[in-house]
Chain A
Amino acid sequence: MNAAPPNGVNTSEARPRTLAEKVWAAHLVKKGEDGTPDLIYIDLHLVHEVTSPQAFDGLRVAGRPVRRPDLTIATEDHNTPTLAIDRPIADPTSRTQIETLRRNAKEFGIRLHSLGDVEQGIVHVVGPQLGLTQPGITVVCGDSHTSTHGAFGAMAFGIGTSEVEHVLATQTLPLKPFKTMAINVEGTLRPGVTAKDIILAVIAKIGTGGGQGYVLEYRGSAIRALSMDGRMTICNMSIEAGARAGMVAPDATTYAYLKGRAHAPAGADWDDAIAYWETLATDEGAEFDAEVFIDADALEPFVTWGTNPGQGVSLSDAVPDPASIADQHERAAAERALEYMDLAPGTPLKDIHVDAVFMGSCTNSRIEDLRAFASVIKGKRKADGVRVMVVPGSARVRLEAEAEGLDKVIEAFGAEWRFAGCSMCLGMNPDQLAPGERCASTSNRNFEGRQGKGGRTHLVSPLVAAATAIRGTLSSPWDLENDGEVR
């Protein structure tokens, strides 16, 4: 039952340490000297079709094998169509990327979940769903939203294609230690306020560059009260605050989620794993390099008005006036954003009409997200002229939702029920906004043109997405309650 101290853990060390420091220490292959980085072992490498072709190409050119195919897994997600998935992919470049991944997986002996497979889906939904994402491990992927996996107490971060090649070849990465920042979220969320609103508020508070160089550790009673799906939503968007990673210490919620999943430890391994996982939480008295406090009781449904995820306010507010922003760069960015978004300062956010609602992406496409969305729209019809797309994060989530009848609720509402993938989160497949179209989106990026050239994105929670789809204007479930009252 007693877990041996993992690699690199010095049990005699007295200094209190953070979760991030512990995971780092347990993966140290070689300590860097004279300013060289540490060499860190990677437990899990997730691969998808967009950032891997050149990495495999590099291996081939250098005649190098994949060192640990058994720690590597690939899925198709960014380019995959969400309709007619049994037909050949129409777009030739999308098809090429996917075919290239299939060839590479075969050549290098990598497990791949292709379109049509029950485990296919967004890479950040698939890892946790298979039980591969576990506390205390290191996870990388050529995708910035790898931070999602930190919800389990893993150290998980996005890497570039040359690092993908590096991990394929060596199962390690040379890295400099990150600084640590505690994000303390204390209190209780009001009904209608979700994990998405917490993270949008965090980013609005610290800015899109505020987390740079840091691993964020989300702590406090409001975080502990969240489900794993909610924690993943929060960690997912850590990168939007500029951070390398986000983490939540594992607890009973984490273990309950993992137990019984295909690749979670089983039998005696499960007990050993838990014994170790229990040691991971940040020690009492450990010091963070920075700290931020958020009052959960005060949070309201949040929405972005601009073109970066830090440009957000409570839904009950108005579009801010750039003239009121002191920092000259932020002011200029706000002016540019309002022009792009075609919004006037002072407009109440609730007066903003949308053309589309996108419910999906690795931020909010898990079963709980779909349940939350469905709970609001159940028995209702979408607003006229609003296109509503619901895209589950994985084929398995889709099946699960259908087993619960959520697809029926969604279709009766007038929304499109699609197959799994990244879809309109970045519009690499045909799911795109037309120029000038405005969308309430549960995804994580409202950058210019992200969801289609000229498209305008407001980031929202699944609950806000649902209420907005009903009313046709940016709305939260609170507004629906008011609608119901006869005045």
Chain B
Amino acid sequence: MEKISTVTGVAVPLRRSNVDTDQIIPAVFLKRVTKTGFDDALFHAWRQDPEFILNDPAYQGARVLIAGPDFGTGSSREHAVWALRDYGFDVVISSRFGDIFRGNSGKQGLLAAQVAYEDVERIWEVVEAEPGIPVTVDLVERTVSVGTLTVPFDIDDYTRWRLLEGLDDIGLTLRDEESIAEFESHREAWRPKTLPIREPAESGSL
């Protein structure tokens, strides 16, 4: 995972709320078994419409997506993050994110910056007045700047640190391998195990 500290690039104002993961990437694309090559799938249904903002030449090569509230709700599909990443987005700005989506983002190097709704409105206005104007998202300072406007964003400290350091999750956890083994040594006999395979008791309901 690459380190992120600041991102500067074209920003797309997506004036829609409640953009669920089915809209970000429809289920039909979940059939792939690789982690890349999802850029064409992003907002697939909406992109059929030539008027859809992502089809506007002014916003080509965008790195920042500025969405309405409740972005990334719905299904847990991580493909939503891959699709955004593959398309070229490094940052999504919204006043509220779906929990799972936000978690997935941090792990894939996509910065989910939570910005107060009034500030999102202000950023939209600036960007719409001058499409293609560069927007800078500074993870160190936790700010979004465009033109003369600078607003703060929220991100939890841990995710921020991870993004800044470009740290892989599993490696981090495996540093605690001893604690895990310790915990497992106390796991009660009655807790469920999938193996060996057992058959239901005669008297069982099934």
By beta carbon, the residue of chain B nearest A94 is B31
B176 part of interface (Cβ distance < 8 Å): yes
A residues engaging B (CB < 8 A)? 3-4, 6-7, 29-30, 35-37, 39, 41, 43-44, 50-51, 53-54, 57-58, 62, 64, 69-73, 78-79, 91, 93-94, 96-97, 100, 111, 129, 131-134, 137, 142-144, 158-163, 165-166, 169-172, 174, 176, 208-209, 212-213, 242, 244, 257, 259-266, 269-270, 272-273, 276, 308, 329, 332-333, 396, 400, 426-428, 445, 447-450, 453
Does the CB pair A111–B188 fall under 8 Å?
no
> A134: which B residues are within 8 A, CB to CB?
191-192
Does the CB pair B198–A262 fall under 8 Å?
yes
Contacts A273-B190, A333-B17 hold; do A260 and B200 have CB atoms under 8 A apart?
yes
Does the CB pair A96–B183 fall under 8 Å?
no
Docked Cα-Cα span, A261 to B199, in Å, equals 8
> A54: which B residues are within 8 A, CB to CB?
33-35, 78
Segment touching A, from B2-10, B21-29, B57-65, B145-153: B21-29
Docked Cα-Cα span, A37 to B169, in Å, equals 12
Docked Cα-Cα span, A153 to B63, in Å, equals 43
A-B contact count, CB below 8 Å? 224
By beta carbon, the residue of chain B nearest A104 is B33
Contacts A172-B173, A453-B45 hold; do A242 and B98 have CB atoms under 8 A apart?
yes
B residues engaging A (CB < 8 A)? 17-18, 20, 22-23, 26-28, 30-35, 45, 68-70, 73-79, 81, 96, 98-100, 103-104, 107-108, 156-158, 169-170, 172-174, 176, 179-180, 183-184, 186-195, 197-206
By beta carbon, the residue of chain B nearest A74 is B194
> B202: which A residues are within 8 A, CB to CB?
260
Contacts A160-B100, A263-B193, A329-B68 hold; do A3 and B188 have CB atoms under 8 A apart?
yes
Does the CB pair B33–A57 fall under 8 Å?
yes
Docked Cα-Cα span, A242 to B201, in Å, equals 38
Does the CB pair B28–A428 fall under 8 Å?
yes
> B205: which A residues are within 8 A, CB to CB?
257, 259-261
Does the CB pair B33–A165 fall under 8 Å?
no
Contacts A70-B195, A450-B22 hold; do A259 and B204 have CB atoms under 8 A apart?
yes
Shortest distance from the beta carbon of B125 to any chain A beta carbon, whole Å: 16
Docked Cα-Cα span, A210 to B125, in Å, equals 28
